Structure 1
């Protein structure tokens, strides 16, 4: 793997996992020393992260980790409503019921695991959510929808981690995902849309109540 790709993946993971905080300055010299590579691949990685919207220019020179405001989260979930509900509907019409029955069973078990201390970082739950996202993409069988989802999920992964310190919300989210999976397994498009919309509404409200969000940006004059 090229040094620029390694740097990009490492920094992207640090941002998504909140190991790098919004507003934190990302200096090329410091990053090249930490990652053990030259400044050129670091610069390449930072350019890609800025194109992704995960970093932003800082006072005309250098970059910082992009902030996430309540306005950003609302916009993200407005877009998700269109994409996720349509994907769930198509998956219910086209998907393999057995795949989603298995996911629903795993999600039911995940509810209990999220209230224990066995997996404090909830890695297994987030992996299960990624499995469900991939299964819905495959079942929906729409390459344009899949492409649109890819960009949204990069930012969604970051927002989802706002629930990491709230096992009760994670357990509720797992239950909501289980209901979506079951509706798809049952081949019920209307219920798949409804359960997806309930999950999105609950996830949005929880995200808006977290202290990590930045203040709403002032309107441009």
Structure 2
């Protein structure tokens, strides 16, 4: 896949689990980790009621939209359809993705992780650091902070990590993406939140100078 801008290469390591339950048992609630609390703050418990999600992933550089692709994800069986320009393709996301579907799968992982990253704190097997206080990269405000690190093997881009920043409401405000080799470090905002049937989704992510924006349109959660 040709990468027109840096952040389009952010393809996290672990695919969404086939079981996408939003349930957390009573016992688990008593001992919730910070990661689980962040997921819950974004509406994780309501995901179990979701049957399908539609969204369009857009990347804008300056005044020009460089990328726009639309997805229809049936969560019950992981049937996923991509519409990009005049072309539509459908595949089933499972443990045996065909070679000719891997590029499609990479795009979906990238785009859906941006859409629902807080839920990946529960779904994926990332290593989560202890919470601390740190200066957020864009606002320069002191916020709560954890680092999310992915395994060094497996997946499309192993070893990547994310520093996420949030306040007392546990809603993500900013993050820093770091490539495994340390050659790329990209901060963006998490903003323009809207509630979609109980899922709190940030519709806009901007670079510090505002010249880059990754944003979502056409979001439907049914």
- Shared fold (TM-score greater than 0.5)? no
Pair member with larger Rg: 1
TM-score (norm 2): 0.23
Structure having the larger proportion of residues in strand: 2
Structure having the larger proportion of residues in helix: 1
Higher-RCO chain (CA-CA 8 Å, sequence separation at least 6):
1
